[in-house]
Amino acid sequence: MAVNLVKGQRSNIETNSFNVGLGWDINSRGESDLDVTAFMLDESGNTISESFIVFYNQLESADKAVVHTGDNRTGDGDGDDEVISVDISKLDSRVDQIVFVVTIHEAEERGQNFGQVRNSYIRITDKKSNEEIMIYELDEDYSVEKSIEFGRLYKRSGQWKFEAMGIGYMEDLGFFVQKYGLEV
Ligand SMILES: [Ca+2]
Ligand SMILES: [Ca+2]
C-alpha cells in the first residue's frame, strides 16, 4: 500500500532504485509546460556543481545516479508526465539531499501560474516492481505561484527519507539555482 503524504510529512524509503514521477493537468486556456528539476545538494545545502542539476536540458547527473527521462511540454493524459529516476547506490558520497522543484516554462512571458495547474502530484515508485511507495498530491490551492518546491529526498543516519514540501514561489528556475548555491 502506498503512503499518502500530506504537506510537511516524511516517510522512509526502503529501496535503492526508484522513480520520482510528477504528474499534472492544465485547466482550459491553452497549454503549460511544467518542468521538474532535481538539485543535488551537499551537507551545507549547496549544489555540488552545475553537473549535479538534472532537468530537461541536462538529463543525467555527473555520477549517473539521477536521470531525467525527458521533457513533457503539455502534461496531457493520466499518469506521470515527467520522471526522474534515482539509484541511491550510484550517488556521489557528497550528496546529502535532492530537492525536486517544479517550474512553469516561460511563466513570465506567457502570463502563466499554478492557478492554471490541476491534479498535480509527486510520487515514488519502486523501479523493480513498479509498485507505488508513496504519493504526495498538492493539497492546497495555488494561484499566482510560478514554481513549487515539491519535495526532497534526504539522508539521516544512513536512512533515506522523502519529505513532502509543497512550498510555492513567485520565482523562475534561475532563482533556485542561486538559492542552492550556484551563480546564474
Ligand atoms: Ca516540461
Ligand atoms: Ca497529466
The CATH number covering residue 36 comes to: 2.60.60.30
> Residue 148 falls within a domain, yes or no?
yes
Ligand 2 centre to CA of 92 (Å) is 32
Domain range holding 132? 3-179
Percent with pLDDT over 70 in the chain: 98
Whose atoms come closest to the Cα of 72: which ligand?
A: 1
Average pLDDT for residues 20-33, to the nearest whole number?
83
Q: State the total domains in the chain.
A: 1
> Residue 167 falls within a domain, yes or no?
yes
Ligand 2 centre to CA of 159 (Å) is 31
Ligand 2 centre to CA of 79 (Å) is 6
Whose atoms come closest to the Cα of 82: which ligand?
A: 1
> Residue 184 falls within a domain, yes or no?
no
Ligand 2 centre to CA of 118 (Å) is 9
Per-residue pLDDT at 27 exceeds 80: no
Ligand 1 centre to CA of 37 (Å) is 10
Ligand 1 centre to CA of 102 (Å) is 9
Chain mean pLDDT for the chain: 93
> Residue 160 falls within a domain, yes or no?
yes
8 Å CB contact between 72 and 57: no
- For 91-126, what is each residue's pLDDT tens digit? 999 999 999 999 999 999 988 899 888 889 999 999
Q: Supply the pLDDT for residue 140.
A: 75
Burial class (CB in 10 A: 0-12, 13-18, 19+), 21: buried
15: DSSP letter: -
- For 31-82, what is each residue's pLDDT tens digit? 789 999 999 999 999 999 999 999 999 999 999 999 999 999 999 889 999 9
> Residue 105 falls within a domain, yes or no?
yes
